Structure 1
Amino acid sequence: MQGCLWRCIGVLASLVMLGLFSRENKAARVVSNTSLNEKKKIIQQIAQEQISSEAKRHLKYFAKMQENSQVLQHANYTLLAGTSPQGKRQLTVGISSVQRTHGSYLLDTLKSLFQASSEQDLKYMLVLVLLTDTDPTWLNQTVANISGLFMPHIESGSLAVIHGLLGGSLAKSRNHTSPCGELFARQKTSSVLLMNFASNLSDYFLLLGDNVRCAPRFVSNIYWAVSAWKELPWVILDFSGMKISGKVFHTRDLPRLTSFLLLFPKDISTHLLLSEFSLLLSQNVPIRFSSSIFYHMGSYSEFEDTCFPEEQDKDLGEPDNPAATVFTDMLWLWNASPQYAYILNDDCLWVVNPLEGNYLLVVLDKPQKVIRVAVLTGSAHSKLNYLQQGQILLGYSLMDYPKHCAHYTLVGPVVRGQLDQMVFYEEDAVKEISCIKLLVTASHDFTIKILQIRVWTEVEEEET
C-alpha cells in the first residue's frame, strides 16, 4: 500500500509540475508583447490562478476531512459503568471489545492490566473500555461481569465502560473485497470510536486489544519513554511486536488520526493506515522498543487469527558486536580504554563529568546492516551513575582524519540510562552502517558508568 501511495503522490506531483510549466510558457509568450505594468498585472493574475487551482485541488480533501469530523460529531456514546472522566490524566488506555462466538478474553486482559499497575500508576491512568455490539443481553452481562470484578477501580475513577455507535448504528463498509474485510471494518470502526471519545481525556493514548497480557509496571515504562522523547518529534511509540496493541499516541493527534482513518474504505486494515499516518506526519520509520511490555493472549478463532496474524518477538539471540574501534573525547578513569564499552564482557568504562556534545564513537571495521542496538549505563542495582540525557545515532559515509561519519540518523534517546531499540530504515536509505555514536545531550556533574554497547547485525543467509 505504501508503494501505491507514493506512486499516486508522484503522479500528482508530475501533473502539478507539468501544469506549472505550461502556465509559465503561456506567461512568457504573453508578457513578451506587453508593457511593464501590464506584465505585472498578467503575472499577478497567473500567480493567483495557480494559487486558486492548488486551493481547489486540495479543497476536496479538506472537505472530506470536514465531512468525517461531522460524522464523528454524531457518534453516539452511552456510559455503562463508571463516571464521566473529570480532569485530564496522563495516560488513557483504550480497549475495544465485541461479542464473539467462543467467548472473550476481555476480563483476563483487565485483570492483567490492573495487576501490572501500582497504586501510583492508577492515579495517572484511565482505562477506557468500549463495547461496540448491539446485543443488549451481551452488553448487560459484560457490564455486570466488569462491575463485579473491578468495582474499586470503577469507584476510584480509574475504569470507565462505554457503548459507542457511529452515526446511530455500527458503521457499514463497502462490499468486502477480501474475506477479512468485515473484521477489518469492525476493527477500524471500534478504533475510531475509541480514539474520538479519548481525544481530550489525557496527554497520551495507549491502544490495546481485548486479548493482551501486560508486563508489570508497564505504565512506568511508558512514562519514562515519553519523557525521554518529549523534546523529539514522534507520532507513534511502539511497545510490542503486535500490529495494533501496544502503540502510544499523543492525544492531540487523535482527531487527525480518526479523520484520516475515515478517508479510506473501512475494510482496509487499520495497522497499514497507522503506518501511513506516521509517514504523513514525518515519522519515516517505526520507533519500536526491543523489549515488549504487551503480549498476545489466547485465540478467538482460526479465521480471526488468519486475518490478524500476531507477530511474535523474533529471538535475535545474543549481540554479535562486529569488529570495531572505539573513540571518545571524554576523560576516563583508571587504566581503561574506550574499547571496554564495546567488548562483550564484564569490563566497563567510567567517564568523568561528561559535557553536552561529548561522545563515544564506535567505528565498524566494515559497514554492517544493524537491526538492533542497546546501550547500558549506570550501576545495575543502585541505579546510580547512569547517563541521564543522551542519544544513540547511526552513521554512514565514513570519513578519515579523524575517523567519523559524515551523516547520522537518530535511533532514539536513552531512557533512564538505557536504550534498546529495533532499527528500521527508510525505503531508499543507506542500510549499511559504519558508525554508532553515543552523544551526550546535557552536561553531567558526576561520573558516568558505561557498561556496554550491544549491536545485532543482519546475518546473511548462506546460498544453498
Structure 2
Amino acid sequence: MRLLLKKKSVVLAVLLLVGGLYLINHSDFLMAGLSRSPEIHPSELTWQGQLLVSKESWVDRGQYLPLNVSYQLLAGAPATEQRYLSIGISSVNRKKGSYLISTLQSIFSMSSSEERSSMVVVVLLADFDTGWRMATLKDIKTTFALELEQGQLVVIHVPLEFYPPITGLKRNYNDAPERVTFRSKQNLDYAFLIHYCAGLGQYYLQLEDDISCAKNFLSSIRNRVAEQEKQKVTWATLEFSVLGYIGKLYKSGHLPLLARFLFLFYQEMPCDWLLTHFKLVMTQKATILFKPSLFQHMGTFSSFQGRHNKLKDKDFDDGFYTNPVAEVFSNISTYQKNFPNLAWDAGEAFFWGLSPVKGSYLTVVFKEPAVVTWIFVETGSGTKDLLQSAQVELGHDVVTTGKDKSCKDFQSVGAIENGKFEMQEVDKKYSSASKCLRILVTATQKHWVIIRKIRVTTKQSAPRQE
C-alpha cells in the first residue's frame, strides 16, 4: 500500500514539473495578447485606437472567447453614436494596380447625403508593406477629407504580431502553399475587420476593394431588411450579390461570433465557404439572395498574384447606375431610334450607328467640370458591331458649333482594344477638371458600330483657371 502511494506521489510530482515547465516556456505566447503593444512606425503618424465592442452579443458581454488584437487607427474617427450600417473593406497591395479609391468613390457617390450620414465605411489596410500603406493612406486623405472629417470613413491597420502563423499550414484541397497562405490571411483580415466593426452599425455589410455600387444601395438594403424582418424568419446573412464575399449583410449582434468563427477556422478553407457553414450553424437553412444585385465586381486582376479575374454578377442591374449629368453629341449616323445619349444613360439601351469613318466621334459634355477617376467603355454585341479602332480622350474649354458642343483641346487617355476600354485612377495622370469625354474613331470601318456603355466616376471640382 505504501509502495502504491509512493508511486502515485512520484507520478503527480512529475506531472506538476512538466506542467510548470510548459507554462514557463510558453508564457510569452500565453501573455502575448495581453502584454504586447503593436509596433508603431512614426512615419505613419498612427496611434492605437480603442476597439468599440458590441455589448449586444453574449460573447463580449461575458468576455467569452477573447480575441486579443490591437488596432492602429490611421485616419478618421468612429462616431460615438451607432449608425444604421457599417461597411467593411479589407485591402492589400495588388501587383497590377489598386481599385480601392474607385470603390470608395462609388460607395459615396452612389449615396445621398442622408444615406452617407447613416453609414460608416471601415477600411483595413491589411498589407504589411509600410510604403504601400503610407501611399494609400495619402491618397485616401487627399480624396476623402470630408468623409474622414464627418466620421463616414475610418482607416485602420493590424500589425503582423497579432496574426497567428500564415505559412507552413496544412494544404486542404491540395491547394498550393502560396494559395493556402493567401486565403488563410484573408480570413484573418476579415476576422479582425469584423471584430472592429461590432457595434458601429445596426447592420454590417462586407464588400471587397474592387466593386462598384448601385445607386442608393443603402436605401435598397434598408427596405429589404424591413421586408425580411416582417417575415419573422431566422436569418444570419442576407446577400446582395452572388459573388464571393461581396454584398453580404449581417446583424451587428452576430459579428463577435462571426469574427471568432473566421479566426478559429482560418486555415481550413476560403472565406466564402466558411460563411456558408456560419449560416448553417446560425440555423439559417437556405440562402437569402436579393435581385437585382446591388454590387458588381469591377477589378480586372485578382489580389492573389495579380491573376486575371473576369468575375461579373449577371444579376447586377446597371439601371441603378447614373453617370454625371451631361449632353451627348455624335456625327455618326444613327440607326432608327438608337440615339447617342443611350450609351451614356442608365439602362440596357445603347447607341447604334452606321459605319464610322476616321475622325468620327461621340462627345460627352459635362454639365459641371469634374475630375474623372474611372472610365469604362463597352462596344459591340458579342463579336459583332465592335468599334475596331478608336481612342478615348478628355477635353477642356467647351465650344459650341451649330447644334453641337465639344471642347477646344483634348488629351488622349488610351485606345479601345477588342471593343472595350477601362482605366482606373484616371485622376492620378489627369488631375485637372475635365468638361468633355470623347471617343474618336482613328480608322474607317465597314461594319456598323454599337456603343453599349460609357460609364465614369468623378469627383467634383471647380472649373480650371487659365
- What is the TM-score of this pair, normalised by structure 2? 0.50
Matches within 5 A, 1:145-294: 145-165=139-159, 167-169=161-163, 172-177=166-171, 178-179=175-176, 180-230=179-229, 231-266=232-267, 268-294=269-295
Query: Structure 2 residue aligned with 1:144, among 135, 138, 146?
Result: 138
- Greater fraction of residues in helix: 1
Matches within 5 A, 1:55-74: 69-70=65-66, 72-73=67-68
* 2:330 alignment counterpart: none
Aligned counterparts of 1:68 and 1:172: Cα–Cα separation in 2: 25
Aligned length: 250
Aligned counterparts of 1:271 and 1:309: Cα–Cα separation in 2: 18
**Residues 263/276 of structure 1: CA separation in 2 closer, same or farther (3 Å cut):** same
* 1:102 alignment counterpart: 96
* 2:79 alignment counterpart: 85
User: Deviations along 1:362-415, whole A, 9 cap, x unmatched?
Assistant: xxxxxxxxxxxxxxxxxxxxxxxxxxxxxxxxxxxxxxxxxxxxxxxxxxxxxx
Aligned counterparts of 2:86 and 2:273: Cα–Cα separation in 1: 23
Matches within 5 A, 1:108-119: 108-119=102-113
The alpha-carbon deviation at position 312 of structure 1 amounts to: 3.1
* 2:116 alignment counterpart: 122
**Residues 236/140 of structure 1: CA separation in 2 closer, same or farther (3 Å cut):** same
Cα pair 2:103 2:210 within 8 Å, conserved? yes
The alpha-carbon deviation at position 310 of structure 1 amounts to: 3.4
User: Deviations along 1:85-117, whole A, 9 cap, x unmatched?
Assistant: 311111001001011222210001001111101
Aligned counterparts of 1:215 and 1:164: Cα–Cα separation in 2: 30
Aligned counterparts of 2:136 and 2:164: Cα–Cα separation in 1: 19
Structure 1 counterpart SS, 2:77: coil
**Residues 307/267 of structure 1: CA separation in 2 closer, same or farther (3 Å cut):** farther
The alpha-carbon deviation at position 280 of structure 1 amounts to: 0.9
Cα pair 1:184 1:267 within 8 Å, conserved? no
**Residues 314/157 of structure 1: CA separation in 2 closer, same or farther (3 Å cut):** closer
Cα pair 1:165 1:171 within 8 Å, conserved? no
Structure 2 counterpart SS, 1:90: strand
Aligned counterparts of 1:274 and 1:309: Cα–Cα separation in 2: 23
* 1:374 alignment counterpart: none
User: Deviations along 1:233-286, whole A, 9 cap, x unmatched?
Assistant: 211000012110100000111111122222324251010110111111111110
User: Deviations along 1:17-54, whole A, 9 cap, x unmatched?
Assistant: xxxxxxxxxxxxxxxxxxxxxxxxxxxxxxxxxxxxxx
Aligned counterparts of 1:220 and 1:305: Cα–Cα separation in 2: 34
Cα pair 2:170 2:267 within 8 Å, conserved? no
**Residues 272/199 of structure 1: CA separation in 2 closer, same or farther (3 Å cut):** same
Aligned counterparts of 1:243 and 1:309: Cα–Cα separation in 2: 13
User: Deviations along 1:199-238, whole A, 9 cap, x unmatched?
Assistant: 1111100000000100100000011111122243211000
Aligned counterparts of 2:243 and 2:199: Cα–Cα separation in 1: 26
* 2:299 alignment counterpart: 298
Q: Which amino acid aligns with 2:256?
A: P
**Residues 154/171 of structure 1: CA separation in 2 closer, same or farther (3 Å cut):** farther
Cα pair 1:76 1:167 within 8 Å, conserved? no
**Residues 208/232 of structure 1: CA separation in 2 closer, same or farther (3 Å cut):** same
**Segment of structure 1 superposing worse, 208-217 or 130-139:** 130-139
Structure 2 counterpart SS, 1:229: helix
The alpha-carbon deviation at position 69 of structure 1 amounts to: 3.2
Gaps of 5+ in 1: 1-62, 316-464
**Residues 265/189 of structure 1: CA separation in 2 closer, same or farther (3 Å cut):** closer
Cα pair 1:173 1:267 within 8 Å, conserved? no
**Segment of structure 1 superposing worse, 183-192 or 110-119:** 183-192
Aligned counterparts of 2:241 and 2:138: Cα–Cα separation in 1: 31
The alpha-carbon deviation at position 173 of structure 1 amounts to: 4.8
Aligned counterparts of 1:101 and 1:304: Cα–Cα separation in 2: 7
User: Deviations along 1:301-351, whole A, 9 cap, x unmatched?
Assistant: 496687988363269xxxxxxxxxxxxxxxxxxxxxxxxxxxxxxxxxxxx
**Residues 235/103 of structure 1: CA separation in 2 closer, same or farther (3 Å cut):** same
Cα pair 1:104 1:300 within 8 Å, conserved? no
**Residues 118/205 of structure 1: CA separation in 2 closer, same or farther (3 Å cut):** same
Cα pair 1:131 1:162 within 8 Å, conserved? yes
Aligned counterparts of 2:305 and 2:63: Cα–Cα separation in 1: 31
Matches within 5 A, 1:386-425: none
Matches within 5 A, 1:302-381: 310=311, 312-313=313-314
Does 2:70 align with 1:76?
yes
**Residues 312/160 of structure 1: CA separation in 2 closer, same or farther (3 Å cut):** same
Structure 2 counterpart SS, 1:210: coil
The alpha-carbon deviation at position 300 of structure 1 amounts to: 2.2
Q: Percent of counterpart pairs with the same letter?
A: 33
User: Deviations along 1:146-198, whole A, 9 cap, x unmatched?
Assistant: 01001011111111111124653475254251122122112101110110000
Structure 2 counterpart SS, 1:120: helix
Structure 2 counterpart SS, 1:102: coil
Cα pair 2:302 2:309 within 8 Å, conserved? no
Structure 1 counterpart SS, 2:206: strand
